[in-house]
Structure 1
Amino acid sequence: MKEQSNIPTGKVERASRFVATGLKVGTNYLKHYTKKLIDPSTSKEELHANNAEDIYDTLSNLKGSALKVAQMLSMDKGMLPKAYTDRFAMSQYSAPPLSGPLVVNTFLKTLGKPPAQLYDTFEMQASNAASIGQVHKAVKWGKELAVKIQYPGVANSVRSDLRIVKPFAIRIVGMNEVDLDKYFDEIEGKLLEETDYKLELRRSMEVSAQCAHIPNLVFPVYYPELSSDRIITMDWLKGFHLKEFLQRNPSQQVRDSIGQALWDFYQFQVHVLRKVHADPHPGNFLMRDDGTVGVFDFGCIKEIPEDFYVNYFLLTNKEVLKDETRRREIYTNLEMIHPTDAEKEIVFFSGLFQKMIDMLTLPFTVETFDFGDESYFSAIYDYMDYISNLKEVRESKVARGSRHSLYVNRTYFGLYSILSDLKARVITSQARVSDRSGSPERLR
């Protein structure tokens, strides 16, 4: 893949790239509707493919939060047309990497020495590149190391990038601006945290230690002395990203082992630590033929407030939700319905939410669940599509759902997506959740 010798860091230059891309997208729409006048049977597939390519090319060269938004959207398979999902998924570990001089300059600025003086060997060509940083392979102390390097200007461009990318998100997703406004502070805060590599290093070491008892998980050792505000050095983990791993045709037993490890990992974090690795895209996991999985990149951690946690997981309790008064109280606490809603709106949205909740929480209500059941996910995506096209939903002036639900929902959607691709059969019983010492503790 062609390397980048520079990244636009100025607000004006980055904005101009977005404007140019917007013009391309507009031209693509004009071409599409012109073709449709001539041939009414023309589908939107070509339009989506052209738009996805143009938008991704711009975002992948700008890097940072703009590309991170594309990465987030790629995980929501039911939200975007397939052309966008496929193209944006490249941002997980296949974005264009930085050139050697920019890499060396980052070392000189933050650690005071070039990589050749810090490691016994350092591969100047990146092993993979994502939205906020890229990874290089190095050797020191006889150990193979992974060196994560942040792109220049990423931290300083978060706020301005989000303001610029917002119209694209509105158009692609079809979401009202009021809906996005409610969550942009949450997104901005998390993206700023992801650019703080000192915070990520601290969290990586902490969460890895707290989850070390969970079977079949492998975490790297981190090296603070070879890390800075824009560099993190850790052990090199062996394994394969999801797509490569599945091409090796792993056995069902191995798929189940990895799926179980991931399920237990996330359940322990959410229910015991009350904070969670909220970036579960395939680029952050390395899967192995022995049924183990390597976990890294703790830049995005969502801390879960107790009140939100209690109400959110009451949604998995069918007995509680049978009580109409209690159910409305929970929906109100989670901002799914609002005190200003008319009774007609409460009944309408409560009905929509209840059906969706019944579908999404099904794995939590049984002892085991087969995530390879394609009909289950098809039903979810079909229902999401149905909801998004309802006039009442499209014209709603109220954003529904707590800001905290944004990253918690994203976490579970990402986990479900990986488990679905693995076709893993998982023991989902809540009795598996363990306390800090690793002994079983049933959720109440």
Structure 2
Amino acid sequence: MMFRAYRRFFVVAWQFLPLFFAFARDRHRFLLFGEGRRVSSEQHRERARTLRSSFLTLGPTFIKLGQLLSTRPDILPPEYIDELTQLQDRVPPAPWPEARDVIESELGPIEEAYDNFDTESISGASLGQVYVAEFDDETVAVKVRRPGIGPLVRTDLRVIKFSVPLLVPFVDEAQAFSLETLADEFARVIRQEMDYEREAAMLREIRGDLDNENVQVPVVVDERSTGRVLTMEYVSGTKITEIDDVDALDVDRTQLAETLERAYFEMIIVHGVFHADPHPGNLAVKPDGTLVLYDFGMSGRVDPFVQDRIVDFYIAIANRDTDAILDALIEMGTLSPEADREVMADVMELAIADARGEEIEQYRVQQIINQIEDTVYEFPLRLPPDLALVLRVATVVEGVCVTLDPEFDFIAVATEFLREEGYLEATAREFVREQLDEFERATRSTLRVPPKLESALDRVERDNLVVQSELNDPNGVLDTLAKRLVLGMGLSVSVLSTVALYIAAELLGALFMIVLSLGIAAVLYHSFRKRRGIRARPQFTRQSMRQREDERIED
């Protein structure tokens, strides 16, 4: 196993080394020191294509890793997210004899397990493949784990775990944290996706939770399901983004988009268990307009605290209360408390307008871009692992809804859903209660202040008042200034020492001091030139999405 992992490591390294050195030189031109390089959007786009190609070359595990990375804008720039969202794990199925061995090792002779079995798979993915069969006079779908995938995944997970510590020194602190959490999260997610018993349990739970007659989740056939084989009800349908075929069904696309959004809001906000892979291949429409959800290998749970914060977030969006939006993001751990609230508030206003399908004047977009470009700051968004899948779901679902109806108002539907579930009314009552509590505290404070004020004035009159102040320096300005003063003093001493040694004809000592002086001077110069953080450009609007899509089609 270890030998296989080492060999695999070199194969992976060969694919990624050119990109690794490019990224490292973006941070420091000479890898460990030097100024950073400014990289254009087109250069990022070209690298992103190379990265996507490498993931496809390396196979199933890395295809899944690329798909997970496409949910992490806290790690990769927008160009990479765009490219990686195109990763499809549609691969040729394994030969039937190998798949048959898996089925029979789990269920016994295939002729006894099923009444009839079509050996041509209807779907091939990186981790499994699906066949159609007959069981108890019913048509069923049989999902079979790809033969030999287990050892390959275990080897690749070893390689990823070994590689992350090598990458950490060459990225920003925030990205280093995200990479480490991503490695752990990915190992957990891919192991869960390979466990068909877990997928069957999630299927049953979500099917039981959903209270929507317009949504169908396949029924699990327990007698023919194991850890490597999952048998379920076969439900046919039209792919949701095949617009012409959907129109041929005479289905109201706006109503279908609303059904989709409501189903995911119910899963995430009400039940806390959700289908986490809503790409168009996993969503279908029946002739009567019923929405069908497939493939529950990627599914997740939402912590009750996060559920409440998500509700707060959408209520704040409904009210266009940018301060409340930022507060909710900070409480979820998604936004740094030190982020520039004014800048982020402008970005949120733009995002809300875009999500509502409103036309955004280009000058306003450029105004916000310029505002951000003029501010050097660390990327303020962080994605805790339990929120990454939620973000991916929201993004993909919104994209599908807009495909069905370009004028779809995602926020209006969310607002109506929250109102029907009673969240908006409950929040209003809580607001009144908070205001009453605030008024009570203010009244008490008014009664306490006069005696305290009189006592303080007495102390001033007796010259017995001592004022203490604490200097808050969150950006480390004084610390940087102190380091520069020390370096400057060190440089002065080393230069004087060099002159003294040269006059005394101690050439070797003088040479050493010259090298030392140059080193101190370089560090001091670098401290003035160093600019932390990245410059961010908001690239989340529908207009920019359409522009990138047009560029992709042209390519």
Query: Normalization by structure 2: what TM-score?
Result: 0.59
Separation (CA, whole Å) in 2 of partners of 1:159 and 1:135: 25
SS of the residue 1:229 aligns to: coil
Separation (CA, whole Å) in 2 of partners of 1:385 and 1:129: 46
Q: Judging changes above 3 Å, is the alpha-carbon distance between structure 1 residues 43 and 429 closer, same or farther for their aligned structure 2 residues?
A: closer
Aligned to 1:411: 393
Quote the offset at 1:214 in angstroms. Answer: 0.7
Letter in 2 for 1:141: D
2:250 is the counterpart of 1:255: no
Aligned to 2:15: 21
Alignment of 1:263-282 (within 5 A): 263-282=261-280
Alignment of 1:152-301 (within 5 A): 152-154=148-150, 156-157=154-155, 159-160=157-158, 162-163=160-161, 176-211=175-210, 213-243=211-241, 245-248=242-245, 250=247, 253-301=251-299
Q: Among 392, 408, 415, which residue is 1:430 paired with?
A: 415
Quote the offset at 1:123 in angstroms. Answer: 2.4
Quote the offset at 1:290 in angstroms. Answer: 3.5
Give the conservation status (yes or no) of the 8 Å contact 2:102–2:228: yes
Q: Judging changes above 3 Å, is the alpha-carbon distance between structure 1 residues 360 and 197 closer, same or farther for their aligned structure 2 residues?
A: farther
Aligned to 1:98: 94
- Percent identity, aligned pairs only? 18
Separation (CA, whole Å) in 2 of partners of 1:270 and 1:363: 23
Cα displacement string for residues 311-367 of structure 1 (whole angstroms, at most 9, x for unaligned residues): 23322334998596x7775444222455xx6xxx44x2x334434444555699xxx
- Which sits farther off after the overlay, 152-161 or 278-287? 152-161
SS of the residue 1:392 aligns to: coil
Q: Among 42, 64, 69, which residue is 1:68 paired with?
A: 64
Separation (CA, whole Å) in 2 of partners of 1:28 and 1:281: 31
Aligned to 1:306: 304
Separation (CA, whole Å) in 2 of partners of 1:225 and 1:187: 31
Aligned to 1:122: 117
Aligned to 1:36: none
Aligned residues: 392
Higher helix proportion (structure 1 or 2)? 2
Give the conservation status (yes or no) of the 8 Å contact 2:269–2:311: no
Cα displacement string for residues 98-149 of structure 1 (whole angstroms, at most 9, x for unaligned residues): 1112201211332233x34322322223211223221112222232211111
SS of the residue 1:214 aligns to: coil
Tell me, which stretches of 5 or more residues in structure 2 are unaligned?
Answer: 24-39, 427-555
Q: Judging changes above 3 Å, is the alpha-carbon distance between structure 1 residues 139 and 414 closer, same or farther for their aligned structure 2 residues?
A: same
Cα displacement string for residues 260-313 of structure 1 (whole angstroms, at most 9, x for unaligned residues): 221111111122102222222222212234422211222233221222222233
Separation (CA, whole Å) in 1 of partners of 2:371 and 2:140: 47
Cα displacement string for residues 76-114 of structure 1 (whole angstroms, at most 9, x for unaligned residues): 8983359834751x22xx22321112201211332233x
Quote the offset at 1:231 in angstroms. Answer: 0.9
- Which sits farther off after the overlay, 405-414 or 20-29? 20-29
Give the conservation status (yes or no) of the 8 Å contact 2:140–2:234: yes
Give the conservation status (yes or no) of the 8 Å contact 1:18–1:164: no
Separation (CA, whole Å) in 2 of partners of 1:22 and 1:282: 30
Give the conservation status (yes or no) of the 8 Å contact 1:56–1:87: no
Q: Among 345, 360, 372, which residue is 1:354 paired with?
A: 345
SS of the residue 2:78 aligns to: coil
Letter in 1 for 2:245: R
Greater length-normalized contact order (CA 8 Å, ≥ 6 residues apart):
1
Separation (CA, whole Å) in 1 of partners of 2:213 and 2:376: 47
Aligned to 1:37: none
- The structure with more radius of gyration: 2
Aligned to 2:133: 138
Letter in 1 for 2:405: K
Aligned-residue CA RMSD in angstroms? 4.5
Quote the offset at 1:402 in angstroms. Answer: 3.4
Separation (CA, whole Å) in 1 of partners of 2:149 and 2:204: 26
Query: Normalization by structure 1: what TM-score?
Result: 0.72
Give the conservation status (yes or no) of the 8 Å contact 1:278–1:411: yes
Letter in 2 for 1:206: E
